[in-house]
């Protein structure tokens, strides 16, 4: 059939348009794929490809015994990403059912919208995460991440601090060492399909995450737990406003435990500061130990002399210095044991304000010890324009000075170790990839506080504080403790002066006395109604020392007791019987049955004194000292002290009424008064001691 002219014209026109269409399409393809190829390729990549951050594992934190005290666990978090309105509606309905919300409220509560990222819940419970993984509609997704975990709960939380929801440190060591612990995040390639599903296109990361470095602490978490528990008990027992404590290895400066307890703390799981290094207080009478070191070091003490302590009231111009009890004539040793403000004040005046100030500075007071702990305070010493008798005496007894607990613990550690002030440290080192500790902190001495002879004498005085002085409640049958009590009025920051009914009770000391290993301080803030340090902080210190000594029995065991015959089925300890009043022959027979050795000054007569006292628990084969007299008219003679420990020798000299000085440590190898010498009037004996 032939076409008309009009039909041919229409077909030709259609053919032209079809050809023109394909020419335009081809031209557009050339424009897209050739001319603008690079630009549109980049657009496609941006829409379908990208990178995602790979979180790095946070470094662990260990205690000195290798226990993990800050760990990582994997947790799931729920988020929403809806690509259209239908997904938004399905997600909202699902969340309302999951969280039991009122119908129609989920969209506004979580801010659900098309193509908007919204966190729904972070750190889901594992069971909830598993349920969501099986039942969640499109638009709801789970993301796994590492979360910080503390295996010991709140123990040591003040040291460790905490991390926020994004695993960034916010307080404590988690904050101050965040750059070390956090590591560096990695990057990975991702691909999105048309339905916005995300896929990893390569198993190998574009940039590998670098895990954070782990830290090893000097702290012993077992002691840390003991300290925190005893602080809580002490606060509850004494109706106190709070408490704090620091325990150190006195021979290397390692902080073994550091804590505070505040019964009114609202969020103990999120502590904001470590009060033992941030909070300052007036130390009160525990400062007398440092003052005594300066007085002894200056050679101002004649052990034959006594000082009149004014029956408890000493008028200094318009000021009055008081003692808690009325004391008359006291020796310097008794002044320290009984904590006489007036006695110390009189010696301090003789020493002079400038020299006293320098002595206290040598103990690290008024300066940062650079412990590396966040918020460490410097403390302060108020220096008057002119030193008067009162201002000098006040400084000697711990007034007009502010300290933190770490400074005082470090000062008593210096006394315990023989006179070296060591920098306190809490970081033992960092752990490398192979699990070895490196960057280990070395022991750093900040200087000598006094001569060895001064420190040895002062240590015997501090033992006397516990045996016969203001800290008798601290006396222990488990471990020998030496130290100093303090009962300081709290300054009135509003009206000036001091609050007359608010106190800080304290005890600072070390144990065991013979060969000190641990030094520290316990403070009880506003104890009621009893506020004396010897009856509040002292017993808490004692409980900490006893529990730690039992826990670490091998550490505190005397060297000669390390190797015990396992075949000996007898109980290795026994109670000391009461030998006083018995004939020495009968006493020896009774001691032999118990496996004890008696050392006496005579082989005939009756026992009039013994050390240790009756009912004390000691090791079998240990020595018991007994003083024997045959008649009241018998002259008092010096005994042979060779081979005795300092504690035993000074106990016997105290009984004999003999003043003494101590040089060295360990056991007595020489005494200035020969054995058998008749003692008449005031006598002074110099003891030379040696280890081994």
In a domain, 47, yes or no: no
Question: Which tens digits make up the pLDDT trace of 623-633?
Answer: 888 988 887 77
In a domain, 45, yes or no: no
Shared domain for 195 and 308, answered yes or no, is no
Q: Of the segments 82-91, 193-202, 229-238, which one has the largest average pLDDT value?
A: 229-238
How far is Cα 334 from Cα 351, in angstroms, rounded to an integer? 19
pLDDT on residue 644: 87
Which of 116-130, 220-234, 362-376, 380-394 is predicted with the least confidence, judged by mean pLDDT?
116-130
Radius of gyration of the chain (CA): 38
pLDDT on residue 585: 86
Shared domain for 171 and 245, answered yes or no, is no
How far is Cα 446 from Cα 405, in angstroms, rounded to an integer? 18
State the average pLDDT for the chain: 86
**pLDDT at residue 190 tops 80:** no
Look up the CATH number of the domain holding residue 515: 3.40.710.10
In a domain, 180, yes or no: yes
pLDDT on residue 32: 67
Distances (CA, A) of 35 to 20, 40, 333: 20, 10, 100
**pLDDT at residue 503 tops 90:** yes
> Where do runs of H (alpha helix) occur along 501-645?
537-551, 553-556, 584-593
Shared domain for 298 and 422, answered yes or no, is yes
**pLDDT at residue 197 tops 60:** no
What is the pTM assigned to this prediction? 0.73
Question: Which tens digits make up the pLDDT trace of 282-318?
Answer: 999 999 999 999 999 999 998 778 899 999 999 998 8
What's the mean pLDDT in 451-464? Answer: 93
Q: Which residue has the tokens 């006395």?
A: 513
What's the mean pLDDT in 26-55? Answer: 64
Final residue in a domain of this structure, among 214, 237, 255: 214
**pLDDT at residue 202 tops 60:** no
Shared domain for 365 and 433, answered yes or no, is yes
**pLDDT at residue 52 tops 60:** no
Provide the token pair at 571.
Answer: 């109980």
Q: 391 with 353: CB under 8 angstroms?
A: yes
pLDDT on residue 692: 61
Question: Which tens digits make up the pLDDT trace of 632-691?
Answer: 778 888 888 888 888 788 888 888 888 887 887 778 898 988 888 888 776 788 888 887
Shared domain for 207 and 328, answered yes or no, is no
pLDDT on residue 284: 94
Q: 592 with 619: CB under 8 angstroms?
A: no
How far is Cα 163 from Cα 183, in angstroms, rounded to an integer? 14
**pLDDT at residue 56 tops 70:** yes
What's the mean pLDDT in 40-67? Answer: 71
Count: domains in the chain: 3
In sequence order, the 6+-apart residues with CB closer than 8 A to the CB of 522 are: 231, 234, 243, 244, 245, 506, 507, 508, 537, 538, 540, 541, 544
Best CA proximity match to 441, nearest among 160, 259, 221, 249: 249
How far is Cα 266 from Cα 273, in angstroms, rounded to an integer? 13
What's the mean pLDDT in 182-187? Answer: 73
Domain carrying residue 614: 574-690
Provide the token pair at 399.
Answer: 């007034």
Shared domain for 159 and 259, answered yes or no, is no
Shared domain for 304 and 186, answered yes or no, is no
In a domain, 29, yes or no: no
How far is Cα 369 from Cα 377, in angstroms, rounded to an integer? 9
Look up the CATH number of the domain holding residue 640: 3.30.10.20
Look up the CATH number of the domain holding residue 97: 3.90.1310.10
Q: Which residue has the tokens 């190797």?
A: 563
**pLDDT at residue 49 tops 70:** no
Question: Which tens digits make up the pLDDT trace of 560-608?
Answer: 433 333 334 445 567 788 888 888 888 888 888 888 888 888 888 888 8
In a domain, 456, yes or no: yes
> Where do runs of H (alpha helix) occur along 400-534?
405-417, 452-467
Shared domain for 195 and 261, answered yes or no, is no
Shared domain for 532 and 582, answered yes or no, is no
214-217 and 61-62 as β-strands: parallel, antiparallel, unpaired?
A: parallel
What's the mean pLDDT in 209-226? Answer: 91
Shared domain for 167 and 311, answered yes or no, is no
Strand order through the sheet with 597-600: 597-600, 623-629, 606-611
Shared domain for 255 and 379, answered yes or no, is yes
Shared domain for 398 and 249, answered yes or no, is yes
């Amino acid at each position: 059939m032939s076409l008309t002219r009009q039909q041919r014209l229409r077909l030709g026109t259609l053919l032209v348009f079809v050809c023109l269409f394909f020419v335009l399409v081809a031209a557009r393809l050339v424009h897209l794929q050739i001319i603008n190829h690079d630009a549109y390729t980049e657009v496609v990549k941006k829409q379908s490809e990208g990178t995602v951050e790979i979180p790095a594992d946070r470094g662990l934190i260990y205690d000195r015994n290798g226990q993990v005290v800050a760990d990582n666990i994997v947790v799931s978090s729920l988020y929403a990403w809806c690509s259209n309105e239908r997904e938004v509606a399905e997600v909202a309905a699902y969340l309302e059912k999951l969280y039991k919300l009122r119908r129609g409220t989920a969209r506004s509560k979580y801010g659900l919208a098309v193509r908007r990222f919204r966190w729904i819940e972070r750190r889901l419970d594992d069971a909830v995460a598993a349920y969501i993984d099986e039942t969640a509609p499109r638009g709801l997704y789970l993301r796994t991440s590492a979360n910080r975990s503390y295996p010991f709960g709140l123990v040591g939380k003040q040291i460790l601090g905490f991390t926020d929801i994004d695993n960034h440190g916010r307080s404590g060591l988690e904050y101050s060492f965040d750059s070390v612990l956090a590591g560096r995040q990695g990057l990975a390639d991702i691909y999105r399909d048309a339905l916005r599903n995300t896929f990893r296109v390569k198993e190998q990361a574009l940039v590998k995450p670098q895990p954070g470095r782990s830290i090893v602490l000097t702290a012993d978490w077992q002691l840390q737990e003991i300290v925190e528990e005893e602080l809580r008990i002490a606060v509850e027992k004494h109706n106190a406003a709070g408490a704090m404590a620091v325990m150190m290895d006195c021979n290397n400066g390692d902080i073994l435990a550091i804590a505070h307890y505040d019964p009114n703390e609202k969020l103990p799981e999120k502590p904001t500061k470590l009060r033992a290094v941030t909070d300052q207080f007036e130390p009160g009478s525990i400062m007398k130990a440092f003052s005594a070191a300066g007085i002894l070091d200056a050679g101002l003490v004649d052990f034959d002399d006594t000082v009149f302590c004014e029956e408890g009231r000493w008028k200094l111009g318009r000021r009055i210095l008081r003692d808690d009890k009325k004391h008359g004539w006291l020796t310097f040793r008794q002044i320290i044991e009984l904590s006489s403000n007036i006695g110390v004040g009189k010696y301090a005046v003789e020493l002079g304000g400038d020299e006293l100030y320098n002595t206290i500075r040598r103990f690290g007071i008024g300066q940062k010890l650079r412990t590396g702990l966040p918020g460490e305070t410097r403390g302060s010493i108020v220096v008057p324009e002119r030193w008067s008798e009162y201002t000098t005496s006040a400084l000697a007894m711990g007034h007009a000075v502010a300290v933190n607990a770490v400074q005082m613990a470090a000062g008593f550690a210096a006394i315990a170790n023989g006179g070296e002030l060591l920098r306190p440290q809490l970081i033992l080192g960092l752990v490398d990839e192979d699990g070895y500790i490196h960057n280990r902190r070395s022991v750093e001495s900040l200087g000598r506080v006094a001569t060895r002879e001064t420190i040895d004498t002062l240590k015997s005085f501090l033992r006397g504080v516990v045996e016969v002085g203001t800290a008798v409640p601290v006396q222990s049958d488990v471990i020998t403790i030496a130290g100093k009590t303090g009962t300081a009025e709290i300054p009135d920051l509003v009206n000036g002066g001091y609050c007359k009914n608010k106190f800080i009770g304290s005890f600072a000391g070390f144990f065991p006395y013979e060969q000190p290993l641990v030094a520290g301080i316990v403070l009880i803030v506003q104890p009621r109604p009893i506020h004396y340090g010897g009856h509040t902080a002292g017993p808490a210190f004692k409980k900490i020392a006893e529990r730690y000594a039992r826990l670490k029995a091998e550490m505190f065991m005397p060297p000669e007791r390390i190797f015990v015959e396992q075949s000996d089925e007898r109980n290795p300890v026994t109670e000391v019987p009461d030998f006083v009043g018995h004939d020495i022959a009968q006493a020896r027979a009774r001691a032999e049955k118990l496996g004890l050795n008696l050392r006496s000054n005579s082989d005939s007569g009756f026992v009039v004194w013994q050390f240790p006292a009756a009912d004390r628990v000691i090791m079998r084969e240990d020595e018991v000292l007994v003083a024997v007299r045959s008649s009241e008219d018998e002259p008092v003679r010096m005994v042979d002290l060779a081979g005795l420990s300092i504690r035993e020798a000074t106990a016997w000299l105290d009984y004999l009424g003999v003043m003494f000085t101590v040089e060295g440590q360990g056991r007595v190898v020489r005494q200035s008064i020969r054995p058998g010498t008749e003692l008449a009037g005031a006598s002074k004996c110099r003891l030379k001691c040696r280890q081994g």
